[in-house]
């Protein structure tokens, strides 16, 4: 069960606050699904795993400094809470709690807003073995820098964003060789009214493959995650 908890942490640690339109104060609520997968092999035999569960998200975006004019800088601060349950990996049921946030300096240009993220991500994974009832939890906090761009249309904006983390060897377990993980997030916001945006977000985490030995078994593992959320952002 420890290995499942560790893999789940690795695959979603890069999630970052991606609330409503940059430069706008907003609070959002989103619902959707959270998929966790592992491209794996055991002693050279395919052992891929892919499971999904219900996910919900509450997020906020707060404009700290507004650009004075075009081609000038602004700063936002964002925070996000995400919970997911109902994910079963083998005989382990997993519940996920995640809190992340940070600041986002940005440069406003004509039709495009360029930005960078300096943020943190806290994740807690709780796993319960269905056969024995034994529970275990793992948690981790990490710095999660990122870059991206918001492309602005008349009523629509799209914000492709990349975040990454480099882990030191043996940070979680002496048997695991950890490396780089990269997360692509594509939030889309539609301006439904002066106060309401309809939002959709897709995220995919690319995990670097690593290997470890579990008793007599030689394991090769490459984790990944997909996230699909839709909801509303209230602007104020």
String of DSSP letters for 52-98: EEEEEEEEEEEEEE--SSTTEEEEEEEEEEEEEEEEEETTEEEEEEE
pLDDT of res. 161: 93
CATH of the domain at 121: 2.40.160.20
Query: Comparing 62-71, 119-128, 192-201, which segment has the lowest mean pLDDT?
Result: 119-128
Q: What is the pLDDT of residues 119-151, one digit of tens each?
A: 888 878 888 888 888 888 877 777 878 999 999
The 3-state DSSP composition of the chain as helix, strand, coil percent (nearest 5) reads 5, 70, 25
> Residues 17-29: what's their mean pLDDT?
83
What's the total number of domains in the chain? 1
Radius of gyration, CA atoms only, the chain: 19
Q: At 173, is the pLDDT very low, low, confident or very high (cuts 50, 70, 90)?
A: very low
Q: At 14, is the pLDDT very low, low, confident or very high (cuts 50, 70, 90)?
A: very low
Query: Comparing 83-92, 104-113, 167-176, which segment has the lowest mean pLDDT?
Result: 167-176
pLDDT, greater one: 78 or 69 = 78
pLDDT of res. 70: 76
pTM of the model: 0.80
> Residues 151-160: what's their mean pLDDT?
94
Q: How many whole angstroms separate alpha carbon 200 and alpha carbon 71?
A: 28
Q: At 1, is the pLDDT very low, low, confident or very high (cuts 50, 70, 90)?
A: low
Q: Which domain holds residue 59?
A: 2-235
């Amino acid at each position: 069960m420890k290995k499942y908890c560790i893999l789940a942490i690795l695959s979603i640690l890069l999630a970052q606050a991606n609330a409503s339109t940059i430069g706008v104060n907003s609070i959002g609520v989103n619902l959707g699904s959270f998929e966790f997968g592992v491209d794996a092999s055991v002693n050279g035999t395919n052992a891929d795993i892919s499971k999904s569960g219900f996910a919900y998200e509450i997020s906020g975006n707060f404009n700290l400094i507004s650009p004075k004019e075009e081609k000038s800088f602004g700063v936002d601060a964002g925070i996000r809470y995400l919970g997911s349950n109902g994910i079963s990996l083998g005989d382990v049921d997993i519940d996920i709690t995640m809190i992340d946030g940070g600041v986002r300096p940005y440069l406003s240009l004509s039709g495009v807003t360029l930005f960078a993220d300096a943020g943190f991500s806290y994740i807690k994974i709780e796993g319960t073995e269905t056969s024995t009832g034994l529970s275990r939890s793992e948690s981790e906090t990490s710095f999660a820098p990122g870059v991206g761009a918001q492309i602005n249309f008349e009523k629509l904006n799209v914000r492709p964003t990349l975040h990454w983390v480099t882990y030191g060897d043996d940070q979680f377990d002496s048997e695991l060789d950890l490396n780089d993980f990269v997360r692509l997030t594509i939030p889309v916001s539609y301006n439904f009214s002066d106060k309401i945006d309809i939002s959709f977000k897709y995220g995919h985490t690319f995990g670097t493959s690593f290997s470890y030995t579990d008793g007599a078994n030689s394991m090769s593992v490459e984790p990944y995650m997909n996230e699909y959320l839709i909801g509303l952002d209230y602007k104020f």
